[in-house]
Structure 1
Amino acid sequence: MTKPEIKMPIRTARLADALTTAIVVLDAQDKLLYINSAGEQFWDVSYGVLLKQGFAPFFEQNPILAKAVAEARLTEQVVTLREAELVSIHGQTHIADCAITPSPDISGADILLELADIERHMRITRDAQLHAMQISTRQLVRGLAHELKNPLGGLQGAAQLLERELPNADLREFTQIILNESSRLKNLIDRMLGPNNRPQMQRINIHEPLEQVRRLLSIEAEETLLQEPLQWHFDFDPSIPDVLADRDQLIQVLLNLSRNALQAMSENDTNNPTLRFKTRVLRRFTIHQTLHRLVLRIDVENNGPPVPDTLVESLFLPMVSGRAHGSGLGLSIAQTIAEQHQGLIEFKQKPGAVRFSLILPLSQSLPGQDTQGQHHQETPP
């Protein structure tokens, strides 16, 4: 539905549509007079829907905002909210700074809402801090792993020489234990060092690796101790363009995330175990201080137990695991692969939903190709 170009000057409305701050104008009965594009995105709703239902449902969903609006009307003064947690009609949460202006100089208007979504800035700051910590820890672990490889190689060589000299075959059982255990340590060290191969980048349809992961996990799910059959939910955007990535490495990342979810649900006897894959394109997203015009987000979500708060900040560090028999390397390796693709993995959880999101730029290009891809409107998560 086309927005009306009355109520406020056309030029003003066009300028408001260019803002990243959400603008909402209401009359005295909380009916919508105007909302800009950022406002539709913030509240995850279209102008047409808001025009029919009014803004009352949002006030019911967000009593802190309703109280501030009532105060602004009563005092006829501007009321501000800092770092308010607001929820859209579909349950999407935003952290925002809000300004509520009563009786704005707009025809028929009673309230002007200005909402600046600061969650992005908070996320960027938090991601930068975590990224710096991950890099430092990874460098420390890699340095330690390199130092361990040399004496471990000497140990293996000595055990092999000793095995040749032993006169009794029964004694070779002990040298075999040394060789087997040292090989296991060497494999662990190689995993600690992370992927050695540079990504073999090519254009791929992201839904093909997701289907491959589903096939692999479906087989594994039949062999786990899940109380009930694993349920799959898919929410794919078919308009997503091909992404520039290493197919095998993406499968490894998505398999690590999905397998962790499967193991967590199995070990905790989750009722109605469910794994959900979701793909969306987001617009103007910052990854490690770089603003990307378009990014791809792949959600791997499960309804298993929440991650303990004590582990949330260190999830992607090497050797950190919440499972009794976990190596703590799967998420660290997955994050390393994501970073090799100029992307990252995010983690969020709420009751009944644990979500890992792989985020990759869509604006990359192969050598000699134009870096300007097709334009896609962001689909709210």
Structure 2
Amino acid sequence: MDSTLILENLSTAVMVVNDELKISYINTAASQLLGLRSSKLQQVSLNQVVDSSDIEWQTLKTTVAQGQSLAVNRCQITTFDGEIHTVDFMLSPLMPSDKLSVLELRKVDQQRRIYQQSQQDAQQQAARFLVRNLAHEIKNPLGGLRGAAQLLERELKGNELTEFTRMIIEQTDRMGNLVDRLLGPQRPVAHKVYNIHQVCEKVLNLAQLSLPPHITFKRDYDPSLPDFAMEPEQMQQALLNVIQNAIEAMGEQEGQIIVKTRTRHQVTLGQVRHKLVLELSVIDDGKGVPFELQDTLFYPMVTGREQGSGLGLSIAQQIAHVHQGRLDFESRPGQTVFSFLIPIAYKEQQ
């Protein structure tokens, strides 16, 4: 069996370096971690694409030259694309005579995120169950109220009091629409093979119509992304909800919103590991999500704005779920990232 095939399917970042820390081999997981294509990383020095105050580069070079091992636990690194990761850093001799070593970077922040995501999923599922039952309980009397108002309107035909029956009908319809929005999509409708960048462009063109002049959009697309089966209208709604949330979060602050697409390999979503996943990110440089809202941000009716409904992110998360994916976020002052992770190939559940 080809050992390269095994290395390329590992979720652990693996590379081979010499005593000058020049990279002679890098697997797919390492390429994604460092934020650069493997063709651009070979024969580049590791310290040119990774920054870390936890690593002494000269010590690392000496360790490789002497054919020794080195381990640094919970090491924080900043990669070439500006991302910050916490990793376990392990260096092992490969060919001491040629001064070559194997370097493994295991993301411990990913393990923490998977645990947090499982906890969050359980809480959100309980919240959705409660909302769904409550919504059905509300819709039943609303239907009766609307029907009674219609009957009364027929009896009062030509009477000025029909103004009030029409008001009752309008308000019950408004409440019914709100309940439908609370329920959100329960499963995707008919799928079609579609290009995610067409979805992005439709959403950005629509959002541009009401975009404040102090905010700009920036596109950062991966042109190699394949078309895949999705429900494009639902994906447009989910992306638009997140972009509108970013616009509102920016307020009067001048800045930009980046829509970024990438592929990720060997990603665990729920209990399933997927070989290829779309990562669709919306990045803004606003003030960030208030700390007190971060644990409940995707719950229905949770919002940090006076005029907000608190449904946009909840619906976006639900659309990601019915596409077998999820919506993640990371936030700190100056950068907030919402990322859809959607399997590029999956079998629709019957």
Shared fold (TM-score, shorter chain, > 0.5): yes
CA–CA separation in structure 2 for the residues paired with 1:15 and 1:168? 79
Q: Deviations over 1:95-123 (max 9, x none)?
A: 2112356x886125397643222333222
Say yes or no: does 1:270 pair with 2:260: no
Question: What's 2:169 paired with?
Answer: 179
Question: What's 1:126 paired with?
Answer: 116
Question: What's 1:147 paired with?
Answer: 137
2:75 to 77, 84, 100: 84
CA–CA separation in structure 2 for the residues paired with 1:342 and 1:366? 9
1:1-381 residue pairs with structure 2 within 5 A?
Answer: 20-27=12-19, 30-32=20-22, 34-37=24-27, 38-45=29-36, 46=38, 49=41, 51-52=43-44, 54-57=45-48, 61-66=51-56, 69=59, 80-100=71-91, 106-107=96-97, 109=99, 113-163=103-153, 169=159, 171-195=161-185, 198-221=188-211, 226=212, 228-265=213-250, 268-271=251-254, 273-364=255-346
1:361 is displaced (CA, Å) by 1.2
1:85 is displaced (CA, Å) by 2.0
- Supply the AA of the counterpart residue of 1:96: V
- Supply the AA of the counterpart residue of 2:87: A
> Secondary structure at the residue paired with 2:56?
helix
- Supply the AA of the counterpart residue of 1:131: D
> Secondary structure at the residue paired with 1:130?
helix
1:77/1:310 CA distance change after superposition, 3 Å: farther
1:136 is displaced (CA, Å) by 1.0
1:139 is displaced (CA, Å) by 0.5
Kept in 2: contact 1:210–1:254 (CA 8 A) = yes
Q: Deviations over 1:130-163 (max 9, x none)?
A: 1111111101100011111122222333334445
1:318 is displaced (CA, Å) by 1.1
CA–CA separation in structure 2 for the residues paired with 1:47 and 1:166? 78
* Number of residue pairs matched by the alignment: 341
1:353 is displaced (CA, Å) by 2.3
Greater fraction strand: 2
Kept in 2: contact 1:195–1:337 (CA 8 A) = yes
Gaps of 5+ in 1: 1-10, 368-381
Kept in 1: contact 2:131–2:182 (CA 8 A) = yes
- Supply the AA of the counterpart residue of 1:362: I
Kept in 1: contact 2:188–2:323 (CA 8 A) = no
Question: What's 1:6 paired with?
Answer: none
CA–CA separation in structure 2 for the residues paired with 1:190 and 1:155? 17
1:125 is displaced (CA, Å) by 2.0
TM-score, structure 1 length as denominator? 0.77
- Supply the AA of the counterpart residue of 1:304: G
Q: Deviations over 1:317-359 (max 9, x none)?
A: 1111111111111111111111111121111234422221122
CA–CA separation in structure 2 for the residues paired with 1:350 and 1:13? 38
CA–CA separation in structure 2 for the residues paired with 1:290 and 1:13? 24
1:275/1:55 CA distance change after superposition, 3 Å: closer
- Supply the AA of the counterpart residue of 1:291: R
CA–CA separation in structure 2 for the residues paired with 1:350 and 1:284? 27
CA–CA separation in structure 1 for the residues paired with 2:223 and 2:238? 21
- Supply the AA of the counterpart residue of 1:247: P
> Secondary structure at the residue paired with 2:296?
coil
> Secondary structure at the residue paired with 2:268?
strand
Gaps of 5+ in 2: none
> Secondary structure at the residue paired with 1:107?
helix
- Supply the AA of the counterpart residue of 1:249: Q
Kept in 2: contact 1:16–1:36 (CA 8 A) = no
1:166 is displaced (CA, Å) by 5.9
> Secondary structure at the residue paired with 1:216?
helix
CA–CA separation in structure 2 for the residues paired with 1:366 and 1:297? 19
Sequence identity percentage: 36
Question: RMSD between aligned alpha carbons?
Answer: 3.4
1:307 is displaced (CA, Å) by 0.8
TM-score, structure 2 length as denominator? 0.83
1:194 is displaced (CA, Å) by 1.3
CA–CA separation in structure 2 for the residues paired with 1:288 and 1:295? 13
CA–CA separation in structure 2 for the residues paired with 1:138 and 1:366? 22
CA–CA separation in structure 1 for the residues paired with 2:188 and 2:22? 53
